[in-house]
Structure 1
Amino acid sequence: MTAGPGTGAHWWGGRGPAGGGTHAAPGGRRSRLPLVLVLLAVLLVGGAAVTVALTRGSSPAPPSPPAPAASAGPAAPASPAGGSRTPARTGPDTAVLQSTVDEVLAAAPLRFPADSATPAPDAAAAVARVAAALRASPGPSITVEGHTAPAGEDRGGAQTLSQQRADEVVRLLEANGVPAGSLTAVGVGPARPLGSLEASRRVEIRVGG
């Protein structure tokens, strides 16, 4: 408020108390202060709510429950003791045994003099070697075949003579340790001659029947 000459006091910014000057505002400022405080409180409460919402939204999701364990299949059968199976025992290879016998008789044939059932003197070694091979591979049946020549021998008794030759070789093999039950003597006669009369008077051995 100022005083001018001859006019008396007046309010700044207006012409009296109702002029709306700056000194008429103190009451208005006081009335706006609670409103400002309310607005601040609302802002603070709203900010806290937003903060809580953001915190909940950013929190990690709870861990998912573990998947159920797969059911085990049927237990495998236990392996036999030792972890391996012993192969089944098999008998001797008849082809191999026959090859061995053939080799022996090719080197020392079982031959006979004409009209005789007694082997030649050099046949003893061959009989011993054949017997050793048969003893080493027991099991297969053995056929001992007696043969005669197509000429130069008693043709009327050729069949009998060939059987006698087979029987004699069976006896010699048994004497050398070959089991009697595995040997069979068969007289063939002159039905299967070889290239000469001497070679035809013989005994052959078949493995396996």
Structure 2
Amino acid sequence: MTGGGGGLHRGRVTGGPGTGAHWWGGRGPAGGGTHAARVGGRRGVLLIALLAVLLLGGVAVAVALTRTSSTPSPAAATPGAPPPGTSTTSRAAGAPDVAVLQATIDEVLVATPLRFPADSATPNAAATEAVDRIAAVLKASPGPAVTVEGHTAPTGDDTGDAQTLSQQRAEDIVRRLEAAGVPAGSLTAVGVGPRDPLGSLEASRRVELRVG
């Protein structure tokens, strides 16, 4: 519908994809100029592409964050703690192995026992070799405390008190080991008496060493 001074009329669209669309006319006075913003085809495509990239990027970030949060993080290492798989009961670096040291001394005493005549605190002559060998072992592996145990036979050691005699036997071996170079103070003499006899009276009158 048209009128002399104005009125309403229908607009029209010209142009197309690639050149931009134009809206001509619209609701307003007849003879009005162009109205409506120009919608560019290329701009529309770029805008859609940008939205798609942003959407896909947000999905990717969300997936990455989900994976990161679900992956257990390694436990933080405690300063000074041993590496994984390391036993906490391991001996200190450089310290001798007590079990190995004890086994070595036992081998010496099996080959050359520290034995004593009945009623005597002086060992047999063969004990000198055992003392020298044990002293060499202890000097090569210093550190652990060693208890020197004196023993008496259940019978046959009748001079004085058996407990006192076993203590004297232990102290005699301690003096000999220290004279051979074992550090003083690392050996402790203990009299056991007849409480731990062996298979014979001769074997029971002895001195043994306990490491640790």
TM-score, normalised via structure 2 length: 0.60
Shift of 1:172: 0.9
Q: How does 1:86-125 map to 2 (within 5 A)?
A: 89=93, 91-125=95-129
Task: Name whichever structure is richer in helix by fraction.
Answer: 1
May I ask how many residue pairs the two structures share in their alignment? 157
Shift of 1:150: 1.9
* Compared CA separation, residues 155 and 194, structure 1 to 2 (3 A): farther
Which residue of the other structure, out of 163, 181, 187, is the alignment partner of 1:183? 187
Deviates more, 1:147-156 or 1:50-59: 50-59
Once residues 50 and 134 of structure 1 are traced to their aligned partners in structure 2, the CA distance between those partners, rounded to angstroms, is 103
Once residues 132 and 142 of structure 2 are traced to their aligned partners in structure 1, the CA distance between those partners, rounded to angstroms, is 15
Higher relative CO (Cα under 8 Å, sequence separation at least 6) belongs to 1
TM-score, normalised via structure 1 length: 0.60
Once residues 123 and 151 of structure 1 are traced to their aligned partners in structure 2, the CA distance between those partners, rounded to angstroms, is 22
Once residues 134 and 90 of structure 1 are traced to their aligned partners in structure 2, the CA distance between those partners, rounded to angstroms, is 15
- Provide the residue aligned with 1:53 in structure 2: 20
Using the aligned pairs only, state the percent identity.
62
Select the structure of larger CA radius of gyration: 1
Once residues 20 and 164 of structure 2 are traced to their aligned partners in structure 1, the CA distance between those partners, rounded to angstroms, is 122
Once residues 177 and 192 of structure 1 are traced to their aligned partners in structure 2, the CA distance between those partners, rounded to angstroms, is 29
Three-state SS of the structure 2 residue aligned to 1:171 is: helix
Gaps of 5+ in 1: 1-45, 71-76
Give the superposed CA RMSD: 3.9
Once residues 50 and 57 of structure 1 are traced to their aligned partners in structure 2, the CA distance between those partners, rounded to angstroms, is 8
Shift of 1:114: 1.7
- Provide the residue aligned with 1:127 in structure 2: 131
Moved over 6 A (4+): 65-70
Once residues 173 and 160 of structure 2 are traced to their aligned partners in structure 1, the CA distance between those partners, rounded to angstroms, is 22
Three-state SS of the structure 1 residue aligned to 2:46 is: coil
